[in-house]
Structure 1
Amino acid sequence: MTALAPSPRRETHAHPHRLTFAHLLRSETIKILTLRSTWWSLGLTAALSIGVSLMIANAARDFEGFAAANVVLMPTQFTMLVAGILGAIVITGEYSTGMIRSTLTAEPRRGAVLLAKAIVVSLVMAVTTALTYIAAIAVTAPLLTTGIDWSDPSQSAVPLGFGVVSMAVFTLIGLGLGFLIRAGAGAIAATVGVLFVLPIVVSLFTFGGPNWQWIVDAGAYLPANAASTLTDPGADIGDSLITLGAWAVVPLLVGWVALRFRDA
Protein backbone atom coordinates (compact mmCIF):
# COMPACT_ATOMS: atom_id res chain seq x y z
CA MET A 1 0.00 0.00 0.00
CA THR A 2 1.19 3.45 -0.79
CA ALA A 3 1.50 5.68 2.21
CA LEU A 4 -0.55 8.77 2.00
CA ALA A 5 1.51 11.91 1.82
CA PRO A 6 0.85 14.21 4.68
CA SER A 7 -1.35 17.11 3.75
CA PRO A 8 0.52 20.39 3.53
CA ARG A 9 0.36 22.29 6.74
CA ARG A 10 -1.84 25.30 6.44
CA GLU A 11 -0.23 28.26 8.08
CA THR A 12 -2.18 31.14 9.43
CA HIS A 13 -0.76 34.59 9.33
CA ALA A 14 -1.74 37.66 11.23
CA HIS A 15 -2.40 40.72 9.14
CA PRO A 16 1.18 41.84 8.51
CA HIS A 17 0.08 45.03 6.79
CA ARG A 18 -2.46 46.13 9.35
CA LEU A 19 -2.60 49.90 9.51
CA THR A 20 -1.55 51.77 12.59
CA PHE A 21 -4.26 54.01 13.96
CA ALA A 22 -2.29 57.10 12.87
CA HIS A 23 -2.20 55.80 9.30
CA LEU A 24 -5.89 54.98 9.52
CA LEU A 25 -6.67 58.53 10.62
CA ARG A 26 -4.61 59.89 7.74
CA SER A 27 -6.37 57.58 5.29
CA GLU A 28 -9.81 58.62 6.52
CA THR A 29 -8.84 62.29 6.38
CA ILE A 30 -7.76 61.99 2.76
CA LYS A 31 -10.85 59.98 1.93
CA ILE A 32 -13.28 62.46 3.50
CA LEU A 33 -11.59 65.63 2.24
CA THR A 34 -11.41 64.38 -1.34
CA LEU A 35 -15.16 63.89 -1.56
CA ARG A 36 -17.02 66.66 -3.36
CA SER A 37 -20.02 66.07 -1.11
CA THR A 38 -17.89 67.00 1.91
CA TRP A 39 -16.94 70.39 0.47
CA TRP A 40 -20.48 71.07 -0.71
CA SER A 41 -21.76 70.31 2.80
CA LEU A 42 -19.12 72.45 4.50
CA GLY A 43 -19.65 75.30 2.06
CA LEU A 44 -23.40 75.16 2.54
CA THR A 45 -22.95 75.14 6.31
CA ALA A 46 -20.79 78.26 6.18
CA ALA A 47 -22.95 80.12 3.66
CA LEU A 48 -26.19 79.33 5.47
CA SER A 49 -24.77 80.22 8.88
CA ILE A 50 -23.29 83.54 7.79
CA GLY A 51 -26.30 84.50 5.69
CA VAL A 52 -28.83 83.82 8.45
CA SER A 53 -26.57 85.58 10.98
CA LEU A 54 -26.61 88.70 8.82
CA MET A 55 -30.41 88.68 8.68
CA ILE A 56 -30.68 88.15 12.43
CA ALA A 57 -28.15 90.91 13.14
CA ASN A 58 -30.08 93.32 10.96
CA ALA A 59 -33.30 92.55 12.81
CA ALA A 60 -31.68 92.47 16.27
CA ARG A 61 -30.93 96.19 16.14
CA ASP A 62 -34.58 96.82 16.95
CA PHE A 63 -34.56 94.66 20.10
CA GLU A 64 -32.98 95.63 23.41
CA GLY A 65 -31.29 92.99 25.56
CA PHE A 66 -30.68 90.62 22.64
CA ALA A 67 -27.54 88.55 23.35
CA ALA A 68 -25.03 89.25 20.59
CA ALA A 69 -23.77 85.65 20.66
CA ASN A 70 -27.24 84.49 19.60
CA VAL A 71 -26.75 86.21 16.27
CA VAL A 72 -24.06 83.65 15.46
CA LEU A 73 -25.66 80.69 17.22
CA MET A 74 -29.27 80.83 16.08
CA PRO A 75 -28.56 79.54 12.53
CA THR A 76 -27.59 76.21 14.15
CA GLN A 77 -31.24 75.12 13.92
CA PHE A 78 -30.73 75.02 10.14
CA THR A 79 -27.08 74.05 9.80
CA MET A 80 -27.48 71.09 12.15
CA LEU A 81 -29.26 69.27 9.34
CA VAL A 82 -26.31 69.74 7.00
CA ALA A 83 -23.95 68.48 9.72
CA GLY A 84 -26.04 65.37 10.34
CA ILE A 85 -26.40 64.65 6.64
CA LEU A 86 -22.65 64.98 6.13
CA GLY A 87 -22.07 62.39 8.86
CA ALA A 88 -24.54 60.03 7.20
CA ILE A 89 -23.23 60.28 3.64
CA VAL A 90 -19.60 59.87 4.70
CA ILE A 91 -20.29 56.19 5.40
CA THR A 92 -23.34 55.41 3.24
CA GLY A 93 -21.35 56.53 0.20
CA GLU A 94 -18.80 53.82 0.97
CA TYR A 95 -21.52 51.20 1.19
CA SER A 96 -23.10 52.30 -2.10
CA THR A 97 -19.78 52.11 -3.97
CA GLY A 98 -18.48 49.00 -2.21
CA MET A 99 -15.44 50.87 -0.93
CA ILE A 100 -16.26 49.74 2.59
CA ARG A 101 -14.97 46.26 1.67
CA SER A 102 -11.60 47.69 0.70
CA THR A 103 -11.52 49.71 3.91
CA LEU A 104 -12.22 46.67 6.07
CA THR A 105 -9.72 44.57 4.12
CA ALA A 106 -6.99 47.12 4.80
CA GLU A 107 -8.07 47.45 8.43
CA PRO A 108 -10.01 44.43 9.78
CA ARG A 109 -10.52 46.06 13.18
CA ARG A 110 -13.98 47.42 12.53
CA GLY A 111 -14.16 49.40 15.73
CA ALA A 112 -10.97 51.23 14.73
CA VAL A 113 -12.50 52.11 11.36
CA LEU A 114 -15.60 53.55 13.00
CA LEU A 115 -13.56 55.47 15.57
CA ALA A 116 -11.25 56.94 12.93
CA LYS A 117 -14.16 58.10 10.81
CA ALA A 118 -15.86 59.60 13.87
CA ILE A 119 -12.74 61.51 14.91
CA VAL A 120 -12.03 62.87 11.44
CA VAL A 121 -15.55 63.90 10.43
CA SER A 122 -16.32 65.50 13.81
CA LEU A 123 -13.04 67.45 13.77
CA VAL A 124 -13.67 68.62 10.21
CA MET A 125 -17.11 69.88 11.21
CA ALA A 126 -15.81 71.45 14.43
CA VAL A 127 -13.05 73.37 12.62
CA THR A 128 -15.47 74.48 9.91
CA THR A 129 -17.96 75.67 12.53
CA ALA A 130 -15.31 77.59 14.47
CA LEU A 131 -14.09 79.34 11.32
CA THR A 132 -17.66 80.09 10.30
CA TYR A 133 -18.37 81.65 13.70
CA ILE A 134 -15.30 83.87 13.35
CA ALA A 135 -16.45 85.02 9.91
CA ALA A 136 -20.03 85.56 11.12
CA ILE A 137 -18.85 87.62 14.09
CA ALA A 138 -16.72 89.78 11.79
CA VAL A 139 -19.45 90.52 9.23
CA THR A 140 -22.26 91.08 11.75
CA ALA A 141 -20.35 93.27 14.21
CA PRO A 142 -20.97 96.51 12.23
CA LEU A 143 -24.72 95.84 12.31
CA LEU A 144 -24.99 95.41 16.09
CA THR A 145 -25.25 98.28 18.53
CA THR A 146 -23.70 96.09 21.22
CA GLY A 147 -21.15 93.45 20.32
CA ILE A 148 -20.24 90.23 22.09
CA ASP A 149 -19.02 90.80 25.64
CA TRP A 150 -15.83 88.74 25.64
CA SER A 151 -15.10 89.68 29.25
CA ASP A 152 -17.99 87.45 30.34
CA PRO A 153 -17.32 83.87 29.15
CA SER A 154 -20.90 82.79 29.95
CA GLN A 155 -22.13 85.28 27.36
CA SER A 156 -19.47 84.64 24.75
CA ALA A 157 -16.83 81.89 24.69
CA VAL A 158 -18.89 79.26 26.53
CA PRO A 159 -22.03 79.26 24.33
CA LEU A 160 -19.93 79.60 21.17
CA GLY A 161 -17.77 76.67 22.28
CA PHE A 162 -20.85 74.58 22.92
CA GLY A 163 -22.09 75.57 19.48
CA VAL A 164 -18.96 74.04 17.95
CA VAL A 165 -19.39 70.90 20.08
CA SER A 166 -23.07 70.63 19.14
CA MET A 167 -22.32 70.68 15.42
CA ALA A 168 -19.75 67.92 15.89
CA VAL A 169 -22.33 65.85 17.81
CA PHE A 170 -24.93 66.31 15.06
CA THR A 171 -22.37 64.96 12.61
CA LEU A 172 -21.72 61.92 14.83
CA ILE A 173 -25.45 61.22 15.06
CA GLY A 174 -25.63 61.07 11.27
CA LEU A 175 -22.52 58.89 11.14
CA GLY A 176 -23.90 56.42 13.68
CA LEU A 177 -27.23 56.18 11.84
CA GLY A 178 -25.33 55.77 8.57
CA PHE A 179 -23.42 52.77 9.93
CA LEU A 180 -26.71 51.31 11.18
CA ILE A 181 -28.92 51.88 8.12
CA ARG A 182 -26.24 51.86 5.40
CA ALA A 183 -28.56 53.26 2.72
CA GLY A 184 -28.09 56.95 1.99
CA ALA A 185 -31.75 57.92 1.72
CA GLY A 186 -32.73 55.99 4.83
CA ALA A 187 -29.87 57.35 6.93
CA ILE A 188 -30.58 60.94 5.86
CA ALA A 189 -34.29 60.53 6.58
CA ALA A 190 -33.56 59.11 10.04
CA THR A 191 -31.08 61.90 10.80
CA VAL A 192 -33.51 64.62 9.74
CA GLY A 193 -36.21 62.91 11.77
CA VAL A 194 -34.13 62.87 14.95
CA LEU A 195 -32.72 66.38 14.58
CA PHE A 196 -35.63 68.29 13.07
CA VAL A 197 -38.94 66.42 12.91
CA LEU A 198 -39.07 65.00 16.45
CA PRO A 199 -38.66 68.42 18.16
CA ILE A 200 -41.57 69.77 16.09
CA VAL A 201 -43.75 66.77 16.94
CA VAL A 202 -42.94 67.10 20.64
CA SER A 203 -43.73 70.82 20.62
CA LEU A 204 -47.26 70.07 19.40
CA PHE A 205 -47.99 68.35 22.72
CA THR A 206 -47.63 71.65 24.56
CA PHE A 207 -51.24 72.26 23.56
CA GLY A 208 -52.41 68.90 24.93
CA GLY A 209 -52.65 69.87 28.58
CA PRO A 210 -51.05 68.28 31.65
CA ASN A 211 -51.75 64.71 30.52
CA TRP A 212 -49.12 65.09 27.81
CA GLN A 213 -46.62 67.10 29.79
CA TRP A 214 -44.35 64.07 30.13
CA ILE A 215 -43.80 64.09 26.36
CA VAL A 216 -42.93 67.78 26.47
CA ASP A 217 -40.50 67.10 29.33
CA ALA A 218 -38.94 64.21 27.41
CA GLY A 219 -38.40 66.55 24.48
CA ALA A 220 -35.69 68.35 26.46
CA TYR A 221 -33.54 65.24 25.94
CA LEU A 222 -33.63 65.47 22.16
CA PRO A 223 -30.27 66.53 20.70
CA ALA A 224 -31.50 69.76 19.11
CA ASN A 225 -33.19 70.90 22.32
CA ALA A 226 -30.20 69.99 24.46
CA ALA A 227 -27.91 71.93 22.12
CA SER A 228 -30.27 74.89 22.21
CA THR A 229 -30.00 75.00 26.00
CA LEU A 230 -26.22 74.67 25.92
CA THR A 231 -25.85 77.55 23.47
CA ASP A 232 -28.23 79.84 25.35
CA PRO A 233 -25.97 82.40 27.07
CA GLY A 234 -26.19 82.05 30.84
CA ALA A 235 -28.40 78.93 30.81
CA ASP A 236 -28.09 76.00 33.24
CA ILE A 237 -26.22 73.42 31.19
CA GLY A 238 -25.87 70.41 33.52
CA ASP A 239 -28.49 67.97 32.19
CA SER A 240 -28.17 69.23 28.61
CA LEU A 241 -24.43 68.55 28.56
CA ILE A 242 -24.97 64.95 29.68
CA THR A 243 -27.77 64.55 27.14
CA LEU A 244 -25.69 65.81 24.24
CA GLY A 245 -22.80 63.59 25.32
CA ALA A 246 -25.10 60.58 25.26
CA TRP A 247 -26.31 61.49 21.77
CA ALA A 248 -22.68 61.60 20.63
CA VAL A 249 -21.92 58.12 21.99
CA VAL A 250 -25.09 55.99 21.68
CA PRO A 251 -25.61 56.21 17.88
CA LEU A 252 -21.94 55.31 17.38
CA LEU A 253 -22.27 52.31 19.70
CA VAL A 254 -25.35 51.14 17.81
CA GLY A 255 -23.51 51.68 14.54
CA TRP A 256 -20.53 49.72 15.86
CA VAL A 257 -22.76 46.76 16.77
CA ALA A 258 -24.22 46.79 13.25
CA LEU A 259 -20.74 47.02 11.71
CA ARG A 260 -19.32 44.34 13.99
CA PHE A 261 -21.94 41.66 13.46
CA ARG A 262 -23.11 42.22 9.88
CA ASP A 263 -21.30 41.57 6.64
CA ALA A 264 -20.05 44.64 4.81
Structure 2
Amino acid sequence: MTALAPAPVRRAASAHRLSFAHLLRSEAIKVLTLRSTWWSLGVTAAMSVGISLLIAVATSGMGGGMAPTNVILAPTQFTMLVAGILGAIVVTGEYSTGMIRSTLTAEPRRGAVLLAKACVVALTMAATTVVTYAVAIVITAPFTSTGIDWATPADSIVPLALGVVSMASFALLGVGFGFLIRSGAGAIAATVGVLFVLPIILSLFSIAGPDWMWVLESAKYLPVNAAAELTSPGTENLLEPALTMAGWVVGPLLLGWVALRSRDA
Protein backbone atom coordinates (compact mmCIF):
# COMPACT_ATOMS: atom_id res chain seq x y z
CA MET A 1 0.00 0.00 0.00
CA THR A 2 1.49 3.26 -1.11
CA ALA A 3 1.35 6.15 1.34
CA LEU A 4 -0.09 9.31 -0.05
CA ALA A 5 2.16 12.36 0.08
CA PRO A 6 0.70 15.23 2.08
CA ALA A 7 -0.73 17.99 0.01
CA PRO A 8 1.51 21.07 -0.10
CA VAL A 9 0.39 23.88 2.15
CA ARG A 10 -0.19 27.07 0.22
CA ARG A 11 0.28 30.28 2.15
CA ALA A 12 -1.66 33.32 1.18
CA ALA A 13 0.47 36.17 -0.02
CA SER A 14 0.90 38.75 2.69
CA ALA A 15 -0.77 42.07 2.04
CA HIS A 16 1.78 43.83 4.22
CA ARG A 17 4.81 45.44 2.66
CA LEU A 18 7.68 47.24 4.34
CA SER A 19 6.92 50.92 3.88
CA PHE A 20 9.66 53.47 3.32
CA ALA A 21 8.87 55.02 6.71
CA HIS A 22 9.50 51.66 8.40
CA LEU A 23 12.66 51.25 6.35
CA LEU A 24 13.86 54.65 7.54
CA ARG A 25 13.14 53.63 11.13
CA SER A 26 15.05 50.40 10.66
CA GLU A 27 18.07 52.20 9.22
CA ALA A 28 17.94 54.81 11.98
CA ILE A 29 18.04 52.07 14.62
CA LYS A 30 21.01 50.40 12.93
CA VAL A 31 22.94 53.65 12.52
CA LEU A 32 22.23 55.15 15.93
CA THR A 33 22.92 51.98 17.90
CA LEU A 34 26.47 51.68 16.60
CA ARG A 35 29.19 52.89 18.96
CA SER A 36 31.24 53.98 15.95
CA THR A 37 28.46 56.43 15.01
CA TRP A 38 28.50 58.14 18.39
CA TRP A 39 32.29 58.18 18.50
CA SER A 40 32.37 59.80 15.06
CA LEU A 41 29.71 62.36 15.96
CA GLY A 42 31.44 63.10 19.25
CA VAL A 43 34.80 63.60 17.57
CA THR A 44 33.17 65.84 14.95
CA ALA A 45 31.50 68.01 17.59
CA ALA A 46 34.60 68.19 19.80
CA MET A 47 36.88 69.12 16.90
CA SER A 48 34.46 71.72 15.56
CA VAL A 49 33.86 73.47 18.88
CA GLY A 50 37.46 73.14 20.03
CA ILE A 51 39.03 74.48 16.85
CA SER A 52 36.51 77.33 16.65
CA LEU A 53 37.33 78.30 20.23
CA LEU A 54 41.08 78.20 19.58
CA ILE A 55 40.71 80.36 16.47
CA ALA A 56 38.48 82.86 18.29
CA VAL A 57 40.93 83.15 21.20
CA ALA A 58 44.00 83.34 18.94
CA THR A 59 42.56 86.06 16.72
CA SER A 60 40.81 88.09 19.43
CA GLY A 61 43.82 90.36 19.86
CA MET A 62 44.36 90.92 16.14
CA GLY A 63 42.42 94.11 15.49
CA GLY A 64 38.86 93.14 14.77
CA GLY A 65 39.71 89.42 14.75
CA MET A 66 38.29 86.89 12.36
CA ALA A 67 34.68 87.24 11.25
CA PRO A 68 32.45 85.25 13.64
CA THR A 69 30.90 83.22 10.82
CA ASN A 70 34.34 82.22 9.55
CA VAL A 71 35.33 81.18 13.07
CA ILE A 72 32.42 78.72 13.17
CA LEU A 73 33.00 77.36 9.67
CA ALA A 74 36.81 77.12 9.74
CA PRO A 75 36.94 73.60 11.32
CA THR A 76 35.06 72.12 8.34
CA GLN A 77 38.35 71.35 6.57
CA PHE A 78 39.09 68.92 9.41
CA THR A 79 35.66 67.62 10.38
CA MET A 80 34.80 66.78 6.76
CA LEU A 81 37.07 63.74 7.01
CA VAL A 82 35.20 62.37 10.02
CA ALA A 83 31.87 62.94 8.26
CA GLY A 84 33.02 61.09 5.15
CA ILE A 85 34.51 58.22 7.14
CA LEU A 86 31.27 57.89 9.14
CA GLY A 87 29.29 57.52 5.92
CA ALA A 88 31.69 54.85 4.68
CA ILE A 89 31.80 52.70 7.82
CA VAL A 90 28.03 52.79 8.31
CA VAL A 91 27.70 50.95 4.99
CA THR A 92 30.77 48.71 5.02
CA GLY A 93 30.04 47.62 8.59
CA GLU A 94 26.92 45.85 7.30
CA TYR A 95 28.95 44.01 4.69
CA SER A 96 31.61 42.94 7.18
CA THR A 97 29.04 41.51 9.60
CA GLY A 98 26.76 40.04 6.92
CA MET A 99 23.79 42.11 8.12
CA ILE A 100 23.34 43.41 4.59
CA ARG A 101 21.86 40.02 3.64
CA SER A 102 19.15 40.36 6.30
CA THR A 103 18.49 43.92 5.18
CA LEU A 104 18.04 42.95 1.54
CA THR A 105 15.90 39.96 2.52
CA ALA A 106 13.54 42.20 4.47
CA GLU A 107 13.54 44.82 1.70
CA PRO A 108 14.41 43.44 -1.76
CA ARG A 109 14.15 46.91 -3.32
CA ARG A 110 17.83 47.73 -3.17
CA GLY A 111 17.43 51.29 -4.31
CA ALA A 112 15.09 51.94 -1.39
CA VAL A 113 17.69 50.51 1.02
CA LEU A 114 20.38 52.83 -0.33
CA LEU A 115 18.07 55.85 -0.25
CA ALA A 116 16.93 55.15 3.31
CA LYS A 117 20.47 54.74 4.59
CA ALA A 118 21.59 57.89 2.77
CA CYS A 119 18.71 59.88 4.27
CA VAL A 120 19.43 58.68 7.80
CA VAL A 121 23.17 59.38 7.56
CA ALA A 122 22.62 62.82 6.02
CA LEU A 123 20.00 63.84 8.58
CA THR A 124 22.11 62.55 11.46
CA MET A 125 25.15 64.51 10.31
CA ALA A 126 23.06 67.61 9.57
CA ALA A 127 21.43 67.56 13.03
CA THR A 128 24.81 67.08 14.70
CA THR A 129 26.27 69.99 12.74
CA VAL A 130 23.39 72.31 13.67
CA VAL A 131 23.86 71.55 17.38
CA THR A 132 27.63 71.89 17.06
CA TYR A 133 27.35 75.27 15.34
CA ALA A 134 24.96 76.50 18.03
CA VAL A 135 27.34 75.47 20.81
CA ALA A 136 30.33 76.97 18.99
CA ILE A 137 28.51 80.29 18.47
CA VAL A 138 27.73 80.56 22.20
CA ILE A 139 31.23 79.56 23.35
CA THR A 140 33.15 81.78 20.93
CA ALA A 141 30.93 84.87 21.36
CA PRO A 142 32.97 86.37 24.26
CA PHE A 143 36.14 86.29 22.13
CA THR A 144 34.80 87.93 18.97
CA SER A 145 34.68 91.69 18.68
CA THR A 146 31.32 91.64 16.94
CA GLY A 147 28.57 89.07 17.00
CA ILE A 148 27.17 87.35 13.95
CA ASP A 149 25.14 89.80 11.88
CA TRP A 150 21.89 87.84 11.57
CA ALA A 151 20.28 90.80 9.79
CA THR A 152 22.48 90.06 6.76
CA PRO A 153 21.64 86.49 5.68
CA ALA A 154 24.41 86.38 3.07
CA ASP A 155 26.98 86.81 5.85
CA SER A 156 25.36 84.58 8.47
CA ILE A 157 22.39 82.30 7.83
CA VAL A 158 23.28 81.33 4.25
CA PRO A 159 26.92 80.25 4.83
CA LEU A 160 26.04 78.45 8.07
CA ALA A 161 23.14 76.62 6.41
CA LEU A 162 25.39 75.66 3.50
CA GLY A 163 27.96 74.49 6.04
CA VAL A 164 25.35 72.06 7.38
CA VAL A 165 24.57 70.91 3.83
CA SER A 166 28.28 70.47 3.10
CA MET A 167 28.84 68.25 6.13
CA ALA A 168 25.86 66.09 5.14
CA SER A 169 27.26 65.94 1.60
CA PHE A 170 30.65 64.71 2.83
CA ALA A 171 28.89 61.94 4.74
CA LEU A 172 26.90 60.97 1.62
CA LEU A 173 30.13 60.82 -0.36
CA GLY A 174 31.33 58.18 2.10
CA VAL A 175 28.01 56.31 1.80
CA GLY A 176 28.40 56.14 -1.98
CA PHE A 177 31.95 54.82 -1.76
CA GLY A 178 30.81 52.34 0.89
CA PHE A 179 28.22 50.75 -1.39
CA LEU A 180 30.56 50.90 -4.37
CA ILE A 181 33.68 49.39 -2.74
CA ARG A 182 32.13 47.44 0.17
CA SER A 183 35.46 47.19 1.95
CA GLY A 184 35.88 49.40 5.00
CA ALA A 185 39.54 50.15 4.32
CA GLY A 186 38.92 50.73 0.61
CA ALA A 187 35.93 53.02 1.13
CA ILE A 188 37.73 55.07 3.77
CA ALA A 189 40.81 55.33 1.55
CA ALA A 190 38.70 56.54 -1.39
CA THR A 191 36.86 59.06 0.77
CA VAL A 192 40.03 60.46 2.35
CA GLY A 193 41.69 60.48 -1.06
CA VAL A 194 38.98 62.64 -2.60
CA LEU A 195 38.50 64.96 0.38
CA PHE A 196 42.09 65.38 1.54
CA VAL A 197 44.79 63.84 -0.65
CA LEU A 198 43.56 64.94 -4.09
CA PRO A 199 43.42 68.67 -3.18
CA ILE A 200 47.02 68.48 -1.94
CA ILE A 201 48.18 66.77 -5.12
CA LEU A 202 46.53 69.36 -7.36
CA SER A 203 47.89 72.22 -5.27
CA LEU A 204 51.44 71.03 -6.08
CA PHE A 205 50.92 72.22 -9.64
CA SER A 206 51.09 75.82 -8.40
CA ILE A 207 54.86 75.61 -8.92
CA ALA A 208 54.49 74.22 -12.44
CA GLY A 209 54.59 76.24 -15.63
CA PRO A 210 51.62 77.91 -17.30
CA ASP A 211 50.97 74.80 -19.37
CA TRP A 212 49.82 73.04 -16.17
CA MET A 213 47.64 75.80 -14.77
CA TRP A 214 44.54 74.01 -16.00
CA VAL A 215 45.25 71.27 -13.45
CA LEU A 216 45.43 73.84 -10.67
CA GLU A 217 42.23 75.51 -11.86
CA SER A 218 40.42 72.16 -11.92
CA ALA A 219 40.86 71.97 -8.14
CA LYS A 220 37.83 74.23 -7.71
CA TYR A 221 35.70 71.29 -8.84
CA LEU A 222 36.77 69.19 -5.85
CA PRO A 223 34.17 68.86 -3.07
CA VAL A 224 36.29 70.54 -0.39
CA ASN A 225 36.91 73.62 -2.54
CA ALA A 226 33.29 73.75 -3.63
CA ALA A 227 32.23 73.66 0.03
CA ALA A 228 34.73 76.40 0.91
CA GLU A 229 33.24 78.62 -1.79
CA LEU A 230 29.68 77.84 -0.75
CA THR A 231 30.33 78.72 2.88
CA SER A 232 32.28 81.93 2.24
CA PRO A 233 30.20 84.84 3.59
CA GLY A 234 29.02 87.17 0.86
CA THR A 235 29.58 84.76 -2.02
CA GLU A 236 27.29 85.78 -4.87
CA ASN A 237 27.75 82.98 -7.41
CA LEU A 238 26.57 79.86 -5.58
CA LEU A 239 25.31 77.91 -8.59
CA GLU A 240 28.65 76.50 -9.82
CA PRO A 241 29.93 75.26 -6.43
CA ALA A 242 26.45 73.94 -5.61
CA LEU A 243 26.36 71.90 -8.82
CA THR A 244 29.89 70.67 -8.13
CA MET A 245 28.94 69.50 -4.65
CA ALA A 246 25.76 67.89 -5.95
CA GLY A 247 27.75 66.00 -8.58
CA TRP A 248 30.14 64.61 -5.95
CA VAL A 249 27.15 63.39 -3.94
CA VAL A 250 24.98 61.99 -6.73
CA GLY A 251 27.86 60.39 -8.69
CA PRO A 252 29.13 57.97 -5.98
CA LEU A 253 25.57 57.23 -4.82
CA LEU A 254 24.53 56.28 -8.37
CA LEU A 255 27.62 54.10 -8.80
CA GLY A 256 26.90 52.52 -5.42
CA TRP A 257 23.31 51.85 -6.49
CA VAL A 258 24.50 50.17 -9.69
CA ALA A 259 26.94 48.02 -7.70
CA LEU A 260 24.25 47.13 -5.16
CA ARG A 261 21.84 46.03 -7.90
CA SER A 262 24.36 44.13 -10.02
CA ARG A 263 26.30 42.23 -7.35
CA ASP A 264 25.25 39.66 -4.77
CA ALA A 265 25.34 40.68 -1.14
* Deviation, structure 1 residue 186: 0.7
Cα pair 1:18 1:106 within 8 Å, conserved = no
- Alignment partners' CA distance in 2, 1:63 and 1:193: 37
Alignment-derived partner of residue 188 in structure 1 = 188
Question: Compared with structure 1, are the counterparts of its residues 247 and 219 closer, same or farther at alpha carbon in structure 2 (3 Å cutoff)?
Answer: same
* Deviation, structure 1 residue 254: 0.5
- Alignment partners' CA distance in 2, 1:199 and 1:12: 58
Question: Compared with structure 1, are the counterparts of its residues 15 and 217 closer, same or farther at alpha carbon in structure 2 (3 Å cutoff)?
Answer: farther
* Deviation, structure 1 residue 17: 4.8
Letter in 2 for 1:197: V
Secondary structure of 1:116's match?
helix
Alignment-derived partner of residue 262 in structure 1 = 263
Provide the alpha-carbon RMSD of the alignment: 1.9
Question: Compared with structure 1, are the counterparts of its residues 229 and 13 closer, same or farther at alpha carbon in structure 2 (3 Å cutoff)?
Answer: farther
Cα pair 1:67 1:233 within 8 Å, conserved = no
Alignment-derived partner of residue 59 in structure 2 = 60
Question: Compared with structure 1, are the counterparts of its residues 14 and 178 closer, same or farther at alpha carbon in structure 2 (3 Å cutoff)?
Answer: farther
Matches within 5 A, 1:83-102: 83-102=83-102
Alignment-derived partner of residue 110 in structure 1 = 110
Cα pair 2:174 2:188 within 8 Å, conserved = yes
* Deviation, structure 1 residue 9: 9.6
Q: What TM-score comes out, normalization by structure 1 length?
A: 0.93
* Deviation, structure 1 residue 18: 3.3
**Which sections of structure 2, spanning at least 5 residues, go unmatched?**
1-6
- Alignment partners' CA distance in 2, 1:15 and 1:33: 30
Question: Compared with structure 1, are the counterparts of its residues 96 and 14 closer, same or farther at alpha carbon in structure 2 (3 Å cutoff)?
Answer: farther
- Alignment partners' CA distance in 2, 1:18 and 1:103: 14
Q: What TM-score comes out, normalization by structure 2 length?
A: 0.93
* Deviation, structure 1 residue 15: 6.9
Matches within 5 A, 1:174-253: 174-235=174-235, 236-253=237-254
Alignment-derived partner of residue 4 in structure 1 = none
Secondary structure of 1:148's match?
coil
Q: Please tell me whether residue 134 in structure 1 is matched to residue 130 in structure 2.
A: no
How many residues align structurally?
A: 258
Deviating runs (4+, > 4 A) in structure 1? 8-17
